[in-house]
Amino acid sequence: MNLLNQFKNPRLCEEVLTQLKNELKGPFRFMEVCGTHTVAIFQSGLRSLFPEELIHVSGPGCPVCVTHEREVAAFLELAQKDVILATFGDLMRVPGPDKKTLKDLQAEGARIKIVYSPFDALKLAIENPKEKVVFLGIGFETTAPTVAATLNLAKEQGITNFSVLCLHKLVPPALEALVSDKSLKVEGFLLPGHVSAIIGLEPYKFLAKNYGIPSVIGGFEPLDILQAIYLMVKMANEEKPEAINNYKRVVKDQGNLNALAMMDKVFEPCGALWRGIGEIPNSGLKIREEFAQFDARKLFSIEELPDVPPIKGCRCGDVLKGIIRPDECPLFKKVCTPQSPVGPCMVSTEGSCAAYYKYSL
Ligand code: SF4
């Protein structure tokens, strides 16, 4: 059996689950903030094995879901201008204020191309020199370095018909916004493996230091997840909260220094809007002045986002803050389904509502 398979080994998982059950002294509520963890916990069947006292909530870990309705309105407006909009496929079905999606606009003739990386979008610009190609930059610290590297390459190559609508977001400031809200009761955080591979361990240390909350960077296999939760519960019981990196086969404590340097070269922190949470200071990235010629917000006059109301009836905001479970939303499964999603948490395959729909019924 190869080493990776050991992280799926049922016998080892059972052993850690037993240790976890023995360690639980009462209800323990933990939050994961990564769409891949959300899906992994359901898909592996772990959720059905968790003891009753272990309460799992999903936080703002799906980049599509946290994209604010005003940001969605902005990219839908942009798609209707004289541009080719290049985007990752998971944004195609996110509904805007009038329920229209990029997919609808594409059917009506808007030039929208699905790409698999920002470099593909740059290639599209190079192959179509008379067109303005805009890449939709949405995602956390995992995606932002590649977008930064693409902009750096565009600058080096003197490309003039390529830009990025930068709506990237940063995870640690969102965690701080959540924990500083006293109404949210979270006793431990399962920290995102992918984001942490870029930013490392340091940015999470405030959780233990300032709020007394244990947190563990965990991988995505069942054993990774169980070990991370066990460590959280143990730290809480011993009243010795810390931030621990338990995914060392992928995450270095110092993060990926090259990726961080590239991000810092191209982007600077700014306030950003999060669906259901509102504006969080320093939780977004904007393109630095040195790269202003690639900033779609400047080029297409969208520095101010359109003012639009939230989607009527959709409780995505409360789902993303862990206040309600998806099945507590009155629209869940009745009018909101993966085939006909009302909000982004049902659109994205990594959204909590979609995961609940698919795996918990
Ligand atoms: Fe929004 Fe649908 Fe989830 Fe309700 S079930 S919170 S309407 S995405």
Residue type, 295: D
Find the 188 Cα to ligand 1 centroid distance in Å: 25
Which of 62, 339, 346 has most ligand 1 atoms within 8 Å of its beta carbon, as the pocket-test mutant? 346
- CA 26 to CA 54: how far, in whole Å? 8
Q: What is the pLDDT of residue 361?
A: 57
Q: 12 lies in a domain? A: no
pLDDT band at 4 (very low <50, low <70, confident <90, very high): confident
**Closest Cα to atom 3 of ligand 1:** 353
Which residues are paired to 350 by β-bridges? none
Q: 251 lies in a domain? A: yes
- CA 328 to CA 324: how far, in whole Å? 6
CATH number, domain at 81?
Answer: 3.40.50.11740
Is 80 exceeded by the pLDDT of residue 276? yes
Q: 146 lies in a domain? A: yes
What is the value of ipTM here, to two decimals? 0.99
- CA 336 to CA 13: how far, in whole Å? 35
In the chain, the percentage of residues whose pLDDT exceeds 70 is 99
Find the 313 Cα to ligand 1 centroid distance in Å: 8
* Residue 343 near ligand 1, beta carbon < 6 Å: yes
Average pLDDT of the chain, as a whole number? 95
**Residue 313 CA, closest ligand 1 atom number:** 7
Is 90 exceeded by the pLDDT of residue 181? no
* Residue 302 near ligand 1, beta carbon < 6 Å: no
Is 60 exceeded by the pLDDT of residue 1? no
* Residue 320 near ligand 1, beta carbon < 6 Å: no
Find the 275 Cα to ligand 1 centroid distance in Å: 12
Q: 1 lies in a domain? A: no
Is 80 exceeded by the pLDDT of residue 2? no
* Residue 329 near ligand 1, beta carbon < 6 Å: yes
* Residue 95 near ligand 1, beta carbon < 6 Å: no
Q: 110 lies in a domain? A: yes
Q: 112 lies in a domain? A: yes
Q: 340 lies in a domain? A: yes
Among the ranges 30-44, 55-69, 147-161, 344-358, which has the highest mean pLDDT value?
A: 147-161
* Residue 353 near ligand 1, beta carbon < 6 Å: yes
Q: 255 lies in a domain? A: yes
Find the 283 Cα to ligand 1 centroid distance in Å: 24
Taking the mean position of all CA atoms in its chain, how far away is CA 11?
32
Among the ranges 5-9, 158-162, 333-337, 340-344, which has the highest mean pLDDT value?
A: 158-162
3-state class (DSSP) for residue 24: coil
Find the 32 Cα to ligand 1 centroid distance in Å: 19
What is the SS3 string spanning the chain? CCCHHHHHCHHHHHHHHHHHHHHCCCCEEEEECCHHHHHHHHHCCHHHHCCCCEEEEECCCCHHHHECHHHHHHHHHHHCCCCEEEECHHHCCCCCCCCCCHHHHHHCCCCEEECCCHHHHHHHHHHCCCCCEEEEECCCCCCHHHHHHHHHHHHHCCCCCEEEEECCECHHHHHHHHHCCCCCCCCEEEECHHHHHHHCCHHHHHHHHHHCCCEEECCCCHHHHHHHHHHHHHHHHHCCCCEEECCCCCCCCCCCHHHHHHHHHHEEEEEEEECCCEEEEEEEEEECHHHHHHEHHHHCCCCCCCCCCCCCCCCHHHHHCCCCCHHHCCCECCCECCCCCCCHHHHCCCCHHHHHHHHCC
* Residue 207 near ligand 1, beta carbon < 6 Å: no
**Residue 345 CA, closest ligand 1 atom number:** 8
**Closest Cα to atom 7 of ligand 1:** 314
Domain carrying residue 344: 29-360
- Structural contact between residues 138 and 76, judged by C-beta atoms closer than 8 angstroms: no
Give the predicted TM-score (pTM) of the model: 0.94
What domain count does the chain have?
A: 1
* Residue 62 near ligand 1, beta carbon < 6 Å: no
